[in-house]
Chains A and B, each alone.
Chain A
Amino acid sequence: MKYSYIKPRTKTPFTQEVQLAVAFFSITIIMLVSTYLFLLYKDYNFQKEKNHILAKQVELKEEIVDMKQKIAFIQKQEALGEKIYTQNNVLKDSIENLFDLVPQRITLSEAKLLKNGLILYGITPNKDVYNFMLQAPLRSIFQETYSSFYPAKNGWLHFVSTNYMKDDFTEEVENED
């Protein structure tokens, strides 16, 4: 016996309201989880980038230390090189001055340049020429000057002039350099 004219609906727990609620919460949860996953990915990326930066920093530090060592060494080379070049130039000037110091009337036969002295061997027409023209300028340079003479065959005089700077004076000059 039929009590209704319409066909009965099949009942389901997923009514429209439930579907709406499930859809809403599903979308919310998906958004939250995707944000979380995005943060996790970013976190991983930051860590990776930071490690790269740290590694690069260490590499740069090592390179800087290495370059500084090279700079220090080149500066040492430069300082020593310049010192030697200057010494050679000073030596050249000293020798030039020495030969300029000897007057025309005196002839040198030998000259020994020492670290703190000068020994000259030569021949002079007489003692006065030697004393005025060679010994006087030598005395103004050296603290100790000794001369000895012996006669030459032609009536001139052979001389040996030994000139020294005092050690403390030499050290003083070197320190000034």
Chain B
Amino acid sequence: MKINISRHYLYILLSSLFMFILVLLFAFLVLIPKGKEYREKRMELKKSSVKLQKYQDYHDTVYAKLKDLQSKNRHIITAFENRFDAKKFQKEHKSYFSSLSLSKISKDKDEGAFAVYEVNTTSRISSPKNFYNFLDAVNKSDWIIGVNFPITFKRDGENISSSFTMKVYCNKEDNNATASASKLK
């Protein structure tokens, strides 16, 4: 049997075949692997996005906790940041005493992240009730102050003279710097 095909059609057939093979090779060797890679990368990106969302949620939780703590302890935080001012202290608390004098503000042993200063105090009070009121006021003052032993009360005519030491606690300098930096942020 003789197939009668013109040369022209033979050329078209051969070139079509060549192009078809080229298309197949391009599709299988380049396009399909690239498509696979695309799918993998899309999955990877999705996973990263989910992970990022988790981080974001955790970040938001920690941020909320920090803000909550800051608002609940605003007085304590600012009190630790304040440097002790003897004149201001006397001005704010002299109403509890007939006379109040502070002497010798000396640096005591640091307590962890906090600096401690010791202040010797002598005063005169008309009744012990004034001293109780003073202790209440100390807890609401602009500084963190602990009234310490020894405390002496001595009868002085109609009044009572008292002497005691106070320990003033504040942030160390480096902590203060961090706190200020974080406030600026």
Contacts and interface: CB of A to CB of B under 8 A. Distances in A.
A86 B49 CA distance: 48
Interface string A45-81: 0110110011011001101101110110111111011
Given A35-B31, A110-B153, A115-B150, A50 B44 contact: yes
A121 to B, nearest CB: 8
Interface string B22-59: 01001100110011011001101100110110011011
B131 A114 contact: no
Interface stretch (A25-33, A124-132, A151-159): A25-33
A174 B76 CA distance: 24
A81 B52 contact: no
A165 interface: no
B38 A84 contact: no
Interface string A90-126: 0110011001000000001111111100000000000
Interface size class of B (residues with CB under 8 A): 35 or more
Interface string B117-157: 00000000000100110011011000011110111111100
B174 to A, nearest CB: 11
Contacts of B136: 92
B113 A76 contact: yes
A15 B8 contact: yes
Contacts of A144: none
Interface size class of A (residues with CB under 8 A): 35 or more
A74 B70 contact: yes
Contacts of A63: 59
Contacts of B30: 36
Contact of A113 (B27, B35, B52, B150): B150
A163 B85 CA distance: 36
A70 B52 CA distance: 23
Contacts of A110: 152-155
Question: What 8 pairs across the A-B complex have the smallest Cβ distances?
Answer: A81-B76, A84-B146, A92-B135, A25-B19, A113-B151, A115-B149, A46-B41, A60-B55
23 contacts: A18-B12, A21-B12, A25-B19, A25-B23, A29-B26, A39-B35, A42-B38, A43-B38, A46-B38, A57-B52, A60-B55, A68-B62, A71-B66, A74-B69, A74-B77, A85-B139, A88-B135, A89-B139, A92-B132, A95-B128, A109-B155, A110-B152, A114-B149
